[in-house]
A and B are shown apart, each in its own frame.
Chain A
Amino acid sequence: MIVAEQKSLDEIKTMLAPYQKVLIVGCGTCVTVCFAGGEKEVAILASALRMATGLEGNPKQIMEATVQRQCEYEYNEAIADKLKEVDVVLSLACGIGVQTMNEQFPEMLTLPGLNTTFLGQPTEQGVWVERCQACGNCVLATTGGICPIARCSKSLLNGPCGGSQGGKCEIDPDVPCAWQQIYDRMKALGRLEALLEVAEAKDWRTSRDGGPRKIVREDLRLEK
């Protein structure tokens, strides 16, 4: 899922300073699951803002809404009416939701209330870790199902580097060395020989380096 974190209340207040009536819009998908921008977080942020702006003697009108999936026009239609009543929207969706809102409702500015952080997985209650960088050409088949692009600090394709010690990455004793994990997994699978071949330099065109990416599926497109 897409993992995000709420911006600080101070930053949000600064962003909202020029506006009086604010609609906070949460999203019911990834950011709900990672407790950053679902219905509950929208409610908590709304009351925090009401309280803070009230104490400062200039209470803002804060409205709340949560759509099922903010990255699709279809779901955002549900809140189109509410937009007429406010000066600005504060989105608690990922950056994709924020952009969808801005594109769909060009007359209304939608501000980001979250920092979209990574594509990851909850590993235990309250902990999320990065798992994929959407490189566009998945190599998990050759690395025992562990991503070296996202999980090795240097995105090495032929690790582990000389800084790997005790299963930890050289950058931080709290960061596992992805290549130690890959090694252990390949060993357990009896496939260590696959790590003896030099992995070719990666073609990054499928990644962000090739420019903004787009997928067109002719089989799914509607007849024009």
Chain B
Amino acid sequence: MKVGSNLEKILTAGYFAATGELGPPKNADPEVIRRKAEILKGHVDAVNITDNQTAVVRMSSISVGIMLLNMGIEPTIQMTCRDRNRIAIQSDLLGAAAFGIKNLLCLSGDHQRFGNHPMAKNVFDLDSMGLLRMVRDMRDAKKFQCGEEIKGPAPCFFIGAAANPFADPFEFRPYRLAKKVAAGADFVQTQIVFNVPKFREYMQRVGDLGLLDKVYILAGVSPIRTAGAAKYMATQVPGMDVPEEYVRRMEDAVKGIPKEDKAARKAAWEEEGIRICVEIIQRVREIPGVAGVHIMAIEWEEAVPEIVKRAGLLPRPQV
């Protein structure tokens, strides 16, 4: 045990982990967070708080993390390399650790091209590998990135990384994961899995590299909310792989329901989306090396309790 966060305890005890995600608001309203967090509470082991995801300005991950701590929910804060250099990142992490935040997901970050400030200057002083190594060295070697000793308590995080098994080149992806593990990743959250056979193949290769004993892999899953969303993810999002089968199932879900009956269509889509998500959880759970699922239902947090319940992941273990 390196850090003793709830997530780390769940994983080291061998339980199948379930984590959630919360997208902070584009304003200064704490109520939104309390409402979303209440929905997730008790249904997941830790809640990720995104760091200005898709490069859109939102309330900061660390501040929302502190609010969650105060509500008795374990946060996993996210940190990208897009907006901060190594000075700012380390400073923010000292603060996060001082508040008692224990899980940290290290990311390169989406390019600002798609966000609400495409005219911004990006940073990318470090990449995700450099960030992982820096955070690991702060914890294990008690050193800042420059090599200077951290006198007094060093920030101590259970360190996460992201992996996208569906991005190209496919054959290099397991090796890139190995690099992240070498750089310091304790756990990994994957891109949303829809193409289970391809994910299985990836996990096989990850296993062949001997990584399964070195890192906990949480498969990313997400309920699709409408047929349009399925189509969009299938065709417009780089690095996403949504098999045709799911697009069709979402389309079929509203067959026979008149277009005017918006409420019925919404209910039918949501039911099918949750059903697909639960199926995928059950299938990835069978894959050797999958230590848990990371459920991403941003702006649809209400789906999470239903998904974990139907997937047989309740009650969450107390460790």
Residue in B82, B129, B133 whose beta carbon sits within 8 Å of that of A154 in the complex: B82
Which A residues lie within 8 Å of B172 (CB)? 160, 183, 195
Other A-B pairs, 20, CB within 8 Å; known A165-B238, A201-B130: A153-B111, A154-B82, A154-B122, A154-B127, A156-B124, A156-B128, A157-B127, A158-B130, A159-B127, A160-B172, A161-B167, A162-B191, A164-B167, A165-B239, A183-B172, A198-B182, A201-B126, A201-B134, A202-B125, A202-B130
CB-CB nearest in chain B for A168: B238
CB distance A158 to B122 under 8 Å?
A: no
CB distance A162 to B164 under 8 Å?
A: yes
Alpha-carbon distance between A157 and B182 when the two chains are bound, in angstroms: 15
CB distance B113 to A198 under 8 Å?
A: no
Which B residues lie within 8 Å of A160 (CB)? 167-169, 172, 176
CB distance B169 to A161 under 8 Å?
A: no
CB distance A156 to B108 under 8 Å?
A: yes
The answer to the question of A180 belonging to the interface, with a C-beta cut-off of 8 Å to chain B, is yes
CB distance B125 to A204 under 8 Å?
A: yes
How many A-B residue pairs have C-beta atoms within 8 angstroms? Tell me: 96
Query: Given that A165-B167, A165-B239 are contacting pairs, would A158 and B124 also be in contact in the complex, using a CB cutoff of 8 Å?
Result: no
The answer to the question of B183 belonging to the interface, with a C-beta cut-off of 8 Å to chain A, is yes
Q: How far is the CB of A167 from chain B (nearest CB, A)?
A: 7
Enumerate chain A interface residues (CB-CB to B < 8 A): 153-168, 170-172, 177, 180, 183-184, 195-202, 204
Alpha-carbon distance between A156 and B178 when the two chains are bound, in angstroms: 17
Which B residues lie within 8 Å of A177 (CB)? 168
Enumerate chain B interface residues (CB-CB to A < 8 A): 81-82, 86, 108-111, 113-114, 122, 124-130, 133-134, 145, 162-164, 167-169, 172, 175-176, 178-179, 182-183, 191, 238-239
Alpha-carbon distance between A180 and B170 when the two chains are bound, in angstroms: 11
CB-CB nearest in chain B for A167: B168
**A–B complex contacts, Cβ < 8 Å, 12 sampled:** A156-B128, A157-B130, A161-B167, A162-B162, A163-B238, A163-B239, A167-B168, A168-B238, A171-B113, A183-B169, A198-B129, A202-B130
CB distance A171 to B111 under 8 Å?
A: yes
Q: How far is the CB of A152 from chain B (nearest CB, A)?
A: 9
Main secondary structure of the interface of A (DSSP, over half): loop
Name the residue in A171, A177, A180, A204 with the highest tally of chain B Cβ atoms < 10 Å from its Cβ: A171
CB distance A162 to B167 under 8 Å?
A: yes
CB-CB nearest in chain B for A193: B175
Q: How far is the CB of B170 from chain A (nearest CB, A)?
A: 10
Which B residues lie within 8 Å of A195 (CB)? 172, 175
Alpha-carbon distance between A158 and B184 when the two chains are bound, in angstroms: 14
CB-CB nearest in chain B for A184: B169
Which A residues lie within 8 Å of B133 (CB)? 198, 201
Q: How far is the CB of A86 from chain B (nearest CB, A)?
A: 36
Which A residues lie within 8 Å of B86 (CB)? 201
Alpha-carbon distance between A199 and B81 when the two chains are bound, in angstroms: 16
Which B residues lie within 8 Å of A204 (CB)? 125
CB distance A158 to B129 under 8 Å?
A: yes
CB distance B169 to A199 under 8 Å?
A: no
Alpha-carbon distance between A166 and B130 when the two chains are bound, in angstroms: 26
Q: How far is the CB of A130 from chain B (nearest CB, A)?
A: 15
Alpha-carbon distance between A160 and B169 when the two chains are bound, in angstroms: 8
CB-CB nearest in chain B for A199: B129
Alpha-carbon distance between A197 and B129 when the two chains are bound, in angstroms: 11
CB-CB nearest in chain A for B111: A171
Residue in A156, A166, A168, A196 whose beta carbon sits within 8 Å of that of B127 in the complex: A156
CB distance B239 to A162 under 8 Å?
A: yes
